[in-house]
Amino acid sequence: MDDKLKYNEEKEDQFYDYPDRPVPIDKRRSQINIAVVTTGMAVAMSTLYTGASLAQTLSYRDAVLSIVIGCIILGIIAAFTGGIGASKGVSFSMLARKPFGREGSKIVGLVFAISMLGWFSYQCGYFGETIHLLVPNAKWADPKIATLWGGILMMSTAIVGFKGMTALSMIASPLLLGMCLYSGIHAINQYGYSAIVQSSVDNPASLGIGITIVVGGWITGAILQPDISRYAKSPKHNGIGIVIAMIIFAVANWGGLVIAKATMASTIMDGLIILGLGTMALMIVILGQWTSNDNNLYSAALGIINIKPGVNKHKITAVCGIIFTLIATVGIQNYFIYFLELLGTFLPPFGGVLIADYYILKEQEKYKFDGEHEYEKIKPIAFISVIVGGLFSYIFKFGSTAINSILISIIIYIILSTMLKKSNTND
């Protein structure tokens, strides 16, 4: 058994957001607050690119169906994981202490921190490149310079914490919704809805592949929803917030789809410029990337704090943000994109294990975070379930790899848990 958990004694200033203890009930937020922060996490420039990918591989009808079905799947997963976070008031990394063990949860936190920091760095670099494409002759838009100031912007709200991300998302989420709707409608007015609907692609992909593309766009965020929902007043409030966020997420995907179908451009940026929406494109880049990427850094910091309670969250966020922004300026992050994609296959099973343990095996009462409760050091069956689920999805590439890995990990975990329980009973 591990030592008794020690809560962070960090001074509770106005930006303190309970990184290593349950969020008090009186500090919880409304469902609208949860919705806008979740939207900020889910909707980025990459969301429009997801819609464009659907346009290039599916018919309009199948692409729309993919968006609807994919968003429903993501919403269900985020409702389950986020519901646990809302009930217990702690982050995903802390919740992992029960199914994975105290030391095991440190491994979970480290894995997710590496993934989130890698994506933070990659998105910073992508931000700089996109700004340069929009304003190629401006010195401030040089890729490295734009990456640097873009990284500083993104880390600023993450350093402040939940309040900072809330303030930004309250502004950004309605604007993102309006921009995506306007862009899509503008494209329809210019090219005609019938032309967009009838636009065809050579050798169209299946509906299943389309759903996989949409689900892959936010599956890690859905698993990490407890990082946000710990501020929800109840699982119901988290659910309402998720519904609102997924509607906006769906509209953003649809906007990318319509723009790409209408203009036949190779990239979303080219499509927006063809539509005469260059300034709006810049706003989408800044707001979308910012609200999404600060969440990457924020979740990474929570994972690190779970490894070493007592670390000042503001400082660890700032240090990680500076280091990985600098990595982005020299382009190193482009060399580990495959590694990040590989993690994207193996991360969803962690959520599957949590869902199985909490809801199916009904272990809710054993999730305690009062600073006195002791957990086992490590639980091998949880990691076996994750590895088997991830390997199955990686080797047998059919349907949605993320969903497959979650389902397999759930099945394996239930079987192993039942066998272990029977074995202990017989002893």
pLDDT band at 4 (very low <50, low <70, confident <90, very high): very low
Q: Which CATH class is domain 29-347?
A: mainly alpha
Considering only residues 130 and 51, tell me which one the structure prediction assigns the higher pLDDT. 51
pLDDT value at 405 more than 60: yes
- Radius of gyration in angstroms for the set of CA atoms belonging to the chain, rounded to a whole number: 21
69: how many CB neighbours lie within 10 A of its CB?
17
Q: Is the pLDDT of residue 85 over 70?
A: yes
In this prediction, residues 167-194 reach a mean pLDDT of 89
Question: Is 80 exceeded by the pLDDT of residue 8?
Answer: no
pLDDT at 16: 76
Q: What does the pLDDT look like over 18-53, one tens digit per residue? A: 888 899 999 999 999 999 999 988 888 778 888 988
Report, as an integer, the average pLDDT of 201-217.
Answer: 87
Predicted confidence band of residue 13 (pLDDT cuts 50, 70, 90): low
* Average pLDDT, integer, range 284-308: 87
* Alpha-carbon gap, residue 405 to 219, rounded angstroms: 11
Give pLDDT, residue 339. 73
Q: Mean of the pLDDT values across residues 9-16?
A: 57
For residue 415, what are its two tokens?
Answer: 């079987």
Question: What are the tens digits of pLDDT across the range 267-283?
Answer: 787 888 888 887 777 77
Nearest to 105 by CA among 22, 220, 2, 8: 2
d(CA 249, CA 71): 8
d(CA 107, CA 109): 5
Report pLDDT for 2: 44
378: phi then psi, degrees, rounded to nearest 5? -155, 145
pLDDT band (50, 70, 90) for residue 14: low
Percent of the chain with pLDDT over 70: 95
**pLDDT value at position 242?**
96
If you write DSSP's letter for every residue of 136-180 in order, what string do you get?
Answer: TT-GGGSHHHHHHHHHHHHHHHHHH-HHHHHHHHHHHHHHHHHHH
Distance of CA 157 to the CA centre of its chain: 16
Average confidence (pLDDT) over 133-152: 91
Residue 6 pLDDT = 47
Mean pLDDT on 146-173 = 90
Model pTM score: 0.88
Q: Report the C-alpha dihedral over residues 329, 313, 367, 361, rounded to 10 degrees.
A: 0
Domain ranges of the chain: 29-347
